[in-house]
Structures are given as C-alpha cells and as structure tokens.
Amino acid sequence: MDTGAVLPRKQADYICRDERYCLSMQRYKGQQYSQLYFFRLHTIRQNLLSRVQERWPSLPVCKILGLEEGQLCVVVGTLYKQMQLKPSILEEYSKERSVVPLATPNKFTHNDDYLIMEDESGRVKLIRDANLPSFYVTGVVVAVCGKEEKDGEFFVQEILEPGLPPQIPLPSAVSFDEEKFVVFASGLKIGGESTNPLELQLLLDHLTGHLGEEEEQSLSSQIVRVVIAGGSVDLQTSLSNGQPLSGREQTKLVEPIRELDLALTQLAAAMPVDIMPGPNDPANYSLPQQPLHRCLFPGASLYNTFVSATNPHQFELDGALFLGTSGQNIEDLEKYSEAEERLDFMERTLVWRHLAPTAPDTLGCYPFTDRDPFILEMCPHVYFCGNQPSYASRLLKGPSGQQVRLICIPSFQETSSVVLVSLKTWDSHILTFSANSFQP
Amino acid sequence: MADVLQDVGIRDQIQALVCDTLQVVSYKWLSRRFSVSSNTAKRILQEFAEQSKDDNIEVVYVVAGWTKNEPRNYSVQLVTQDRLQEARETLHGSPSSHVYSVQPCLPKDPAQLFAAEFVQAQELFKQPSDVNNCLRDNRFSGVSCSLVARCLGRVSSIIPKQHGAISATNQALSPPPLLAEASLDNKGPKPEVQAFQSAPAVPLGLPKIAGGVTLKEEPTTVTGLTGKGPVDSIASGNVSAGKRKAGAAGGEGSLASLWGKAPNQSSKPSAPKSSGPVKPITTAGDADRGIRAMEASVSEASSDDDVSGFGQRRGGQVMRSAGRKRQIVLDEDEEMSAKEEENPDSIECEEVVSLASPPSKSSPSVVAEEKSKENTKAKVHLPGPLTAAIDKERKISWNEKHADDPEKVEGLLEPSCAQPVENQILHEGKAEPSSVVSDKAPSGPKRKKVLRTRIDNRGREVTEVVWETDGVEEPHETKPASAKTVAQPAVVETKPITDKLAPSKAQRGPQQGASTKGSNKSAGKAAAKGPQQGKLDSFFKRKS
C-alpha cells in the first residue's frame, strides 16, 4: 500500500493590494487625460527633485518657459517621442482613401524619431545622440541636464531617471525557512485551436496534487498560490459580429469560459488562485483592467481561495510584495522602443517608476483625475509580466539594496510551461508539461 | 482484505472497460469513478498493467523530474512504455513515474486520453452547487489544503441555476402551457391568463409583480372571477390531461407537472393539489382550490421559500391567491399599456403575459356585456378544450378562434353570446358571479398579443405573435393581422386541417369561425360574424 498520508499544503499569508487599480469609485464624466499627465509629472517630480539635488547641487532647476540660451540648467518634464511611424487615426483614414499601401510594422521606431520634453509651461525639443530616442517612450518623466541652443533646441548632457522606488525590506527569515513556491501561469488560451487540453489537465493535476509519486506531490504541496496572468480564454469572437447569436453559437462562444471555470474550480478546490484579466479576456480593454466578473465562474467563485484580481495585480505573500501585469504594458513598450530582451523593458518601467508610461498615449487607460495609479511608490520584490513569448528571469538589484525578481511568464499555450518562484531563495524555475512525446 | 477484494473487483471492471468498451482509463477517472484516492488508483492501474501485459493493452506513463541541463526545470511528460526508460534517463536523479492511463490503443490525438476524464469532470461540475463531490473538495488528491472552503450559503449561486432550470422547463414545456393557456382563455380569458401568468412569469418576473400589487385593489373582486376562470381552465387542462393521465395515481395535473418539473421538490406536493382541483370542475370552491393549486404549484416552482409544507400553503393560499391575482391584474395593465406601445414581434417570449394582458386593458373600457360575452366565449371554449384537450394545436387554434370570436361576436353576435353565457351560467352555478364580477374586473380584452403555435402543413411548428382585438371590432385585429398576413393565411389553413383531425366537432364551429375571421378580417366583418353566430349556436346546442 503506497497510499501514504496526505500531505498538507503549505500556506502563506496573502494580502491583496489591488485597491489602487479598482475603478469602483470612478465615474466617467467626459474627462480627458490631462490630469493623468499632470499627476504623473507632479508626483514623479517630487521624487526627481531630491535626486537632482544630490546629483547637480549647484545647477538651477528651470521651467521650460524660463530657459535661457546657453545657460546650463536642469529641466524636469514629461517626454514625448515624435515618431513618424506611429500609427495615427488620421493617417489611417487618409491612407484608406489613397493608393498607398497600409504598412503595419510590428515596431514603430525609426531612426528619425526625436524626443520632446514638456512641462506645464511649454515644450522643447531635446537633441543628443541618436540612441536616446529609441530608449525612451512617451510619457516617461525624467530630469535632463543641459542648455538651450540658438535654434531653441535643448542640448542634453545627461538624463536622470527617477530610479527604483524604495523597497520594504523583506520580513526576517522566520517564515522563509521552509520552501514555498508561487506559480505564475498565463496564456492558458482555453478553447483555442492550438491549445492542448491534456497539457492543461496535467498542469491542473500537478498543482492539485494528483499527479506523480510522493516526491512530486511534496513539490506540489509547497505551492502556496497560483497566479494566472491573463490570456486565460481564447474566445471565438468572430462569432459575435453584432448580430443576434443562435443558441448554438452562444454555447460555442461561452464554452471556453465554462472550461476555464471547470479548471479554476479544480484549482480553487486545492489551493488559492488569483486570476487576472488579460488582453483578450472578457474584461474591459483599458488599463487598469477590472476583475473578471464572478458570474463568469459560477463554480470557482464559491471558493474562498478564488480571487479575481485587477490587471495590474499587486499582493503580498508573507510580507513580500508581488506586482505584475498581463503583459500589455511591456507589449506596448516593445512596439515603441527598443531593447535586447523583454526583461529590459520590465526593468525600465521600474526605473522610470511607472508601470505603463505609454498609457494613455498608445495604451488604453482610464482617465483618472485624482491620481496616476501606475506610478510605483514601492518597489515590489517580484515583478512579473504575463503572456510573454518565452520564459526569462533576472534578479535586479537597486542602489539602495532593492532586490527585485523580474519574471517573464511564457504563454502556456505556446510553451506548455509555468513559472515557479521560490519564496525562500527568490529563485525561479519553470515547470514544463509535455503530452506529445508518447505518440507512436 | 476488503481493500484487496475491492481492488480485484475494480481490476475486473477495468478489464471490461478497456477490452470491451475500448475506453481510456486514466488514474484520475478511476479514482473518481470508484471513489478511491488518486494514489490508490495509480497503484491499481499499475497492477492491472502488469497483469495484462500480454493483452495488447497500451499503457501511458507519466514521468516527472528535474532536467539535467541548466537552468534546471521540472518536467512532466507522458510517455509510452517503450520510451519510459529513455525519458527517465533524461531526467536528473530518480524521477517519479507512474501509470497515467491504460487503453486498448494509443490515440492519435493526445487529447483523447483525457476525453473520458473530461466528461466525467464536467458531470461532476454540473451537479447542483450544494452537492459536494470529489471534484469540488479535491478529496482524492495527495495534497490537502486546509485553507479551502466553499461558501454554499450564497443565494446568488443557487438562484441562477434555478432560473436556468425554470426557463429551460418553460421552454421545454412551452407547448403544454400554451394549451393550458388556450383552454383558460376560452373559459375566462382574464383570470385564467392571470393564473398562467403567475405560474410561468412569477419566477422570472417577481419584481414586477410585486410592484404591481399595490397599484390596484380591484383585482380582489376579480379573484372570484379569476377563481372560476382558473378553475375552469384548470379543470379543462386537467381534464384534458386527465384523459391522458387519468390513470396516473399521483394524478399530477398536466399543469402541475409542467410547472412542477422545474423545481423537483415542488412538483410532488403541487401535483396532488392540482389533481384535486381537477375533479371539481364547476364549483366555485373547487375553482378556488384549483387556483390555489395552480398558485401553489407555481409558487413552489418559482421560489425556494415556498418549498415548505404543503399544509401551510393551504392555509395561506387564499391570501396569497388574492395577492397574486392583484399582482397579475396590475401586471396585465402595465403590460397592456406596454403592449400597445410595443410591436407585436417584440413580445414573443411572453406567451402567457400576452394572453393575459389584453383582457385587463379591455376590461376597464369594455362594457359588462362584452365581458360577459367573453366569459361566455371562454366557457364555450371550455367544452371545446375539454373534449379536444388532446391536441395542443387545436386548443391553440381554439383560443385564437375564441379570441377572434369574442370580437366578432361582440359586434354582431351579442345575442348569441348572451345565450352562451346563459348556458354557461346554467352549467356553472357560479357563472353569475363571474359575469357580474366581470364588470368590475377588467374582462373585455381589446387587444391581445397572442402567441400562436401550430403545426403547419409541412409538419413544422410555427409560432407567431399576433395582435388580436377583443371588445373592439375586427378591424383592430385586422391591423395586426395584416402585418402578419403572410403567417395568418397559413394559420387559417392549418386550422381546418387540425379540425379535420380533431375528433370533437364542437371545436370545429369555433375554429371555422376563427378561420373565417382570419379571412374576413380584411373583407367583411358582418359576413364573418354571421357564420360564427350560427356556429356558436350550434356549438352550444350540442353542448347542452
């Protein structure tokens, strides 16, 4: 009889920190985005000014309107990137009517791009070497040191970024003497054509502790939480074309959600689950995406272990701060700036202290009037990003002792893998499922 | 020992499943099927696989372990027996492996492996939410989580299900309701309709009704009428059902069974009640009972709270019935107004409502005579349904005809109508009150939205929403009819067919009248009325 005692699952204290991303108190009254930019500039400038004081104690900080030609000074403002390839609805309209073919590049960066800095008083074109524009995107708040030239352009000598936000030190290792893991999954794409339901089932069986012998189940018992970072369903949206749907089509349309509910029910019955909406999930489009409605999951929502979270999702586990998105912010940065790998984009958002600087310029965003929820006030310990093409991870260390584990969560549909992050060592590894190798 | 024996039994069953029904048996399916833990299931499968190595059974293993190369990953893969060793060697240390499934042959599509398990999981998943099963508590897993709790107290989770069930039943049962409605209409259009309304509509439209209750108090007076009406209708419905089900010991009225189906609990208690009412057709008391029964069944079906005792209900039924009727009446009024505004097409779903509402509107404006006529008509219908009850279509056609009839009759046939009324009165001791009350109550239907369902010449079921005007002359009907003209002709045609088929001749008269109406709508009302009168008269004569 090998049916040993049932292993108890490890637990971790969980606190949801999604309040800042909730729109419950917001009422749209036709407001524009100006307040959002204003708050962003105002808030991040506070942080920048102290850094500017340290860096250039002798230089004056000027408004753009008060610039004087030839005088070395520091200007704090929001960057705007002038891009000739940036899609414009007006251009698309004119192209539609012309014979010029509609080019749809994946990236919109170009060598001729240049940066403009603006603050409350005005805007000025920044000039320096050509690399600069490809690094930054619209919406980033920085301080630049330099002087205005004859033709009214501002020659940049140095750029100062806000830097990593302060980090709460991890609680003393009391709770970390035993190994615990958090699982990050994304892009389950249930119902998609290329989705292999068997691999998903293997994942579920592994997580819920059905699969494997005792050794494997002991690994499973160390998993304290599963976070699903978007992309959970692949709805056949082509079915809904604005016309009334037949009953059969409706069933076909919602079937993936039923299956997701079934999967989540199995998960929630075994362990805590967070599910975040993603780019193609049945939630609002603009960030912050609000939690998937509970009525989508009549089965899973009965469990106290089921948490439907907002899209930028923030929570604490055993005192460690986790923050992540379903990938839209990084996806957008990839289009409008350049870096060697996805982790670099993630790192930049931390250094810029803004989760989604391209919102609302090229990324859908709710027009907040009282705050900019994407400003990072605290540095997370784990920063994850869903729906990435491949797994990547890096430990980022800040100047004042911050340590952030950056994780690109691969799409499960494409890679059949999920990411495990240890709460003890802050290492991460992936868990891969393969159901194809048994075929004859 | 017991365990071993059990295992042996399970192994035999696996053998049967795999070799005879060619099913894929995975460890998880096994554990859920035979209520053993996953680990036990794995062991049983392992033993089974070893025992039946010679039987041409394919075994799929799952191998899990750390990969050797950096960065190290944990890998879980499914492999066949011949690749098992190979797969194990690619992993670091001593990887864990066990049987995942046994099957007669390897499926080309890996998802096949998991089909049976998925179906099983879905079945478990679809069980009522208050049922705890192995899917929901993960009881067979090798890892337990004390943190997990299911909150079953949530009403929200339960209600939707019931709604779904009810609506589903409604849909499924829709034809019978129509019949019932039809029969009801015939007897006493308004009250019956109300009852029906309450039945199907209550579950879904409670809020509306509640709001409506306060508005009008007239309904109370109506109750008497309604009681009769419903009773009759019930009786008719039951009678018709009775013919079919007469033997049934439970005596579940057709109506009761229809409504009762949605909530399992309710159906049982309600059924007896309804059956009781069925017997007494004409008596006022009986009528009340019938109403109560109907309501009871309805209420039981609709709301969880009502599930309580049968007896309690009886006590409170009177009050309830009155309240309900009021509600209904109000609803009708609202609907009336709404209907007027709405297009006929929009209302398709609310069969009952549509039927009910027209009378209420008309009632205020219509004279008592009209009401009485209607009642008489309704009564006339009653015999028809009773006799004809078997055919839904017929009934429907009857209703339509009746509905049409009243209009026509009113204009020209007043005398004839009066006669029928008298006849009815004679038949039913309570008929008088009904007629009297009818004045107070909103009886004269001016316009009705009627859902007509019939089987057309080609054997297809055709459902139309038609505006029928009562109290007012045919022209009203014609307007709506004209809109649907295409459909209507078909109706006319079908009706005759059904008539032919129908055993009872009594129906024919009305049906013909209806058909004539349809045809006459545009042409001449007077002409149509003439024939109708004659038919009606003949009908009554036969009856009497």
- pLDDT tens readout for residues B133-192: 777 777 777 777 777 777 765 443 333 333 333 333 344 333 333 333 333 334 433 433
Q: How crowded is the C-beta side of B294, counted as CA atoms within 13 Å?
A: 42
Residue B339 to residue B325: CA distance in whole angstroms: 20
CATH number of A34-160: 2.40.50.430
SS3 letters across B247-258: CCCCCCCHHHHH
Closest CA to A426 of A395, A398, A380, A402: A395
CA-nearest of B273, B276, B263 to B295 is B273
Q: Pairing mode, if any, of strands A306-308 and A320-325?
A: unpaired
Q: Say how many CA atoms lie within 13 Å of A334 toward its Cβ.
A: 14
B152 and chain A: CB distance < 8 Å anywhere? Answer: yes
Query: One fold for both A14-26+166-240+248-432 and A34-160?
Result: no
C-alpha to C-alpha distance for A5 and B390, rounded to whole angstroms: 63
- Is residue B471 within 8 Å of B377, Cβ to Cβ? no
Neighbours of A150 (CB within 10 A): 7
User: Low-confidence residues of chain A, pLDDT below 70?
Assistant: 1-5, 91-106, 129-131, 172-177, 239-240, 437-440
Task: Report the residue from A198, A215, A262 with minimal CB separation from B111.
Answer: A198
3-class SS string, B90-159: CECCCCEEEEEEEECCCCCCHHHHHHHHHHHHHHHHHCCCCCCCHHHHCCCCCEECCCCCECCCCHHHHH
Show residues of chain A in contact with B118, CB under 8 Å: 197, 201
CATH hierarchy code of domain A14-26+166-240+248-432:
3.60.21.50
The verdict on a CB contact (< 8 Å) between B147 and A272 is yes
- In this structure, are residues A373 and A21 in contact, taking their beta carbons and an 8 Å threshold? yes
Contact A8 B160 (CB under 8 A): no
Within 10 angstroms of residue A227's Cβ, the number of other Cβ atoms is: 28
Q: What is the pLDDT of residue B191?
A: 39
Interchain CB contact of B141 with A (< 8 Å): yes
How far is Cα of residue B85 from the mean position of the Cα atoms in its chain? 58
- Between residues 4 and 23 of chain A, which touch chain B (CB distance below 8 Å)? 4, 6-9, 11
Nearest CA in chain A to B41: A3
Q: How many CB pairs under 8 A join A and B?
A: 191
Indicate which of A210, A214, A254, A258 best probes the interface with B, i.e. most B CBs within 10 Å of its own CB.
A210
At B221-254, the pLDDT tens digits run: 333 333 343 334 333 434 343 344 333 333 444 4
ipTM of the complex: 0.78
Which domains are present in chain B? 2-127 (3.90.1030.20), 164-543 (no CATH)
Q: What is the spatial distance between Cα A360 and Cα B443, in angstroms, rounded to a whole number?
A: 62
pLDDT of residue A408: 92
> Domain map of chain A by residue range?
14-26+166-240+248-432, 34-160
Is B281 exposed, middle or buried (CB count within 10 Å of its CB: 0-12, 13-18, 19+)? buried
Exposure b/e, A245-276, CB count within 10 A at least 16 = b: eeeeeeeebbebbbbbbbbbbbbbbbbbbbbb
| Confidence (pLDDT) at B468 | 66
A109 touches chain B (CB under 8 A): no
Scan residues 13-52 of B and list those with Cβ closer than 8 Å to A: 27-28, 31, 37-40, 43
Q: Using one digit for the tens of pLDDT, what is the confidence trace for A109-161?
A: 777 788 888 888 888 888 876 667 788 888 899 898 888 888 888 888 888 88
| Residue B175, C-beta contacts closer than 8 angstroms, at least 6 positions apart | B392, B453
Distance, CA of B226 to chain centre: 22
Q: Measured between beta carbons, which residues in chain B are less than 8 angstroms from residue A299? A: 125, 129, 136
For B384, the token pair is 């028809």
B313-317 CB contacts, 8 Å cutoff, 24+ apart: B313/B269, B317/B292
Using CA atoms, how far apart are residues A386 and A187, in angstroms rounded to an integer?
7
SS3 readout for B270-300: HHHHHHHHHCCCCCHHHHHHHHHHHHHHHHH
B253, B231 contact by CB (below 8 A): no
Q: Do A208 and B141 touch (CB under 8 A)?
A: yes
Judged by CB atoms within 8 Å, which residues 262-291 of B form the interface with A?
Answer: none
Q: Alpha-carbon distance B481 to B494, whole Å? A: 16
> E strand or H helix at B37, and its extent?
none
Show the 3-state SS of chain A: CCCCCCEECCCCCEEECCHHHCCCCCCCCCCCCHHHHHHHHHHHHHHHHHHHHHHCCCCCEECHHHCCECCEEEEEEEEEEECCCCCCHHHHHHHHHCCCCCCCCCCCCCCCCEEEEECCCCEEEEECCCHHHHHCCCCCEEEEEEEECCCCCEEEEEEECCCCCCCCCCCCHHHHCCCCEEEEEECCCECCCCCCHHHHHHHHHHHHCCCCCHHHHHHHHCEEEEEEECCCECCCHHHCCCCCCCHHHHHHHHHHHHHHHHHHHHHHCCCCEEEECCCCCCCCCCECCCCCCHHHCCCHHHECCEEECCCCEEEEECCEEEEEECCHHHHHHHHHCCCCCHHHHHHHHHHCCECCCCCCCCCCECCCCCCCCCECCCCCCEEEEEEECCCEEEEEECCCCCEEEEEEEEEHHHHCEEEEEECCCCCEEEEEEECCCCCC
Q: What DSSP string describes B324-344?
A: HHHHHHHHHHHHHHHHHHS-G
H or E stretch covering B266: helix B264-278
Q: Which residues of A touch B71 (CB under 8 A)?
A: 429
Per-residue pLDDT of chain B (544 residues; tens, 9 = 90+): 445 556 667 777 777 777 777 778 888 888 888 888 888 888 888 888 887 777 777 888 888 888 877 677 888 888 888 888 888 888 887 778 888 888 877 777 777 777 788 888 888 888 777 777 777 777 777 777 777 777 765 443 333 333 333 333 344 333 333 333 333 334 433 433 333 433 333 333 333 333 333 333 333 333 333 334 333 433 343 434 334 433 333 344 444 444 444 444 433 443 344 333 344 344 444 445 545 545 444 444 443 333 333 434 443 333 443 333 343 443 444 444 444 444 444 434 333 333 433 443 433 444 444 444 444 444 434 444 443 334 444 444 444 444 444 444 344 434 444 444 444 444 444 434 434 333 444 444 456 676 777 776 776 776 767 676 654 444 444 444 344 433 344 343 434 444 444 444 444 444 444 444 444 444 444 444 444 555 566 666 555 4
Q: Tokens 């209904």 identify what position?
A: B328
What are φ and ψ of residue B65, in 5° steps? Answer: 175, 180
Three-state DSSP at B24 gives: coil
